[in-house]
Amino acid sequence: MTVRMTIRSHRGDYAVVEDPSVAAAVERLLALPERLVPIVDERVARLHAPSLAPLFERAAPHLIEATEDNKGLARMEDHALGVMRLGARRDHVLVAIGGGILQDIACFLASTLFRGMAWELVPTTLLAQADSAIGSKSSINVGRYKNLMGTFLPPRRILVAPAFLDTLDEDALRSGIGEILKVHALAGPAAFDEVAGLDLLGDRAALTGAIWRALSIKQRYIEEDEFDRGPRNVLNYGHSFGHALESATDFAVPHGIAVTLGMDLANHVSAARGDLSAGRRDRMRPILLANAGRFAATPVPLDRFFAALGRDKKNEGARFAFILLDAHGAARKVLVDDTPALRATCEAYFAANRAAS
Ligand SMILES: NC(=O)c1ccc[n+]([C@@H]2O[C@H](COP(=O)([O-])OP(=O)(O)OC[C@H]3O[C@@H](n4cnc5c(N)ncnc54)[C@H](O)[C@@H]3O)[C@@H](O)[C@H]2O)c1
């Protein structure tokens, strides 16, 4: 075990620990003195059954399919009743094992059941290991509003076992790489160009290094602004467009890949406003398009896309709140009107992607 980072939060410090195997992470959980209540991605439970068996022998898990529907507010009662059926009490520890969806559900339950329970997190996707695991947030969908409700409660500890990544398919790896590219873009053009030069899909050591660098970049923002009142907003770079793309395509595009395309579109919008240079936009574009792969050609109905943009919780009044890169490549929040010119930029962007593939 290696303690790789210690994160400051309103609940005190919490550690992010690296474990050499799934079995080692399980052993660490079994060493806890409290009773455990595992909330586990059912696919992960199946794929890693032998390593997780000792945990499940001690504490039966509540299994959840990782779908956006399942992190909707309407499903929270089922999840709460599921863990109550397992005998959960306020002094037990919820253990979330899964990707961002399981994390969001478990964090929300831990924040609200008994008005607060301790929880620990074992992130199993690249996106969760490199990005979502730290930052204290739960994000719950309400009807068609993505991530509308939520709470801030950090896990007591995060156990990262890169071995979980062995069972991820390439789409899920690319999704996580999208968030890795995003935080490196926030760290500046040089950091982005450096990570873009690595073979993150093919070289596991490079990928592991990028996970820890991505977390340490994100750490600066979440420690400065844990409750997302200002500086942390920029972590939403690519997300307004990305969420709208997910919604307009009925989640056919994985989250981090939608964010990848969202960054590229944000760069087009910024360049059209005369902010980001066309040169910088065009330097980033092939890297982002390569990570998006076949998803760049996904048909996006413009009316549904704009309807979803209109539901973005960051909007202010009738204006969209986008995170855009400025002329120096720095991210900042910009309020943008819904104009025919903006719609034309988005329409041309999607048409160009389809033509290019
Ligand atoms: N709360 C936050 O701070 C935060 C931040 C970023 C994203 N999110 C949310 O996270 C969600 C996306 O999360 P995600 O991309 O981690 O994926 P996910 O939880 O949606 O899982 C994606 C797929 O991978 C499978 N899976 C998980 N681990 C696996 C493994 N080790 N091997 C094989 N398959 C595995 C899942 O069953 C699912 O089919 C979105 O809902 C997004 O809004 C939350």
Distance CA 39, CA 35 (A): 13
What is the mean pLDDT of the segment spanning 282-293?
Answer: 97
Sign of CA dihedral 106, 109, 110, 111: positive
Q: Which residues line ligand 1 (CB under 6 A)?
A: 41, 43-44, 47, 66, 68, 71, 98-102, 104, 124-125, 127-128, 131-132, 135, 137-139, 147, 164, 167-168, 172, 175, 255-256
Q: 99 C-alpha vs ligand 1 centroid, how far in Å?
A: 3
Residue 162, pLDDT score: 95
Atom of ligand 1 nearest to the CA of 101: 19
Q: How many helices (H) and strands (E) does the chain have?
A: 14, 11
Q: DSSP 3-state assignment of 351?
A: helix
Atom 34 of ligand 1: nearest residue by CA position: 168
Angle at 139 between CA 138 and CA 142, to 5 degrees: 140
pTM: 0.95
Range of lowest pLDDT (50-64, 169-183, 261-275, 310-324):
310-324
Q: 288 C-alpha vs ligand 1 centroid, how far in Å?
A: 20
DSSP string, 43-78: HHHHHTHHHHHHHHHHS--EEE---TGGGBGGGHHH
Q: 26 C-alpha vs ligand 1 centroid, how far in Å?
A: 20
* % residues pLDDT > 70 (the chain): 100
Q: 200 C-alpha vs ligand 1 centroid, how far in Å?
A: 18
Residue 356 binned pLDDT confidence (cut-offs 50, 70, 90): confident
Atom 11 of ligand 1: nearest residue by CA position: 100
Q: Which residues pair with 14 in a beta bridge?
A: 7
What is the mean pLDDT of the segment spanning 43-57?
Answer: 98
DSSP string, 255-288: HHHHHHHHHHHHHHHHHHTT-S-HHHHHHHHHHH
Tens digits of residue pLDDT in 293-351: 999 999 999 999 999 999 988 899 999 999 999 999 999 999 999 999 999 999 999 99
Atom 18 of ligand 1: nearest residue by CA position: 99
Residue 39, pLDDT score: 98
Atom of ligand 1 nearest to the CA of 254: 15
Atom 19 of ligand 1: nearest residue by CA position: 99
Going by the DSSP 8-state scheme, the letter that residue 128 receives in this structure is: I
Q: 19 C-alpha vs ligand 1 centroid, how far in Å?
A: 20
Residue 259, pLDDT score: 98
Tens digits of residue pLDDT in 110-140: 999 999 999 999 999 999 999 999 999 999 9
Residue 62, pLDDT score: 98
CB within 8 A of 249, min separation 6: which ones? 298, 299, 300
Angle at 102 between CA 129 and CA 168, to 5 degrees: 50
Residue 165, pLDDT score: 97
- How many residues are listed for the chain in this entry? 357
Closest CA to 16 of 223, 215, 224: 215
Residue 325, pLDDT score: 97
Q: 125 C-alpha vs ligand 1 centroid, how far in Å?
A: 6
Residue 357, pLDDT score: 78
Atom of ligand 1 nearest to the CA of 107: 1
Tens digits of residue pLDDT in 84-111: 999 999 999 999 999 999 999 999 999 9
Residue 134, pLDDT score: 98
Q: Which residue has the higher pLDDT, 56 or 2?
A: 56
Atom 33 of ligand 1: nearest residue by CA position: 168
What is the mean pLDDT of the segment spanning 238-253?
Answer: 95
Q: Is the pLDDT of residue 73 over 80?
A: yes
Best probe residue, ligand 1, of 108, 111, 132 (max atoms within 8 Å of C-beta): 132
Distance CA 6, CA 154 (A): 12
Atom of ligand 1 nearest to the CA of 126: 16
Q: 42 C-alpha vs ligand 1 centroid, how far in Å?
A: 12
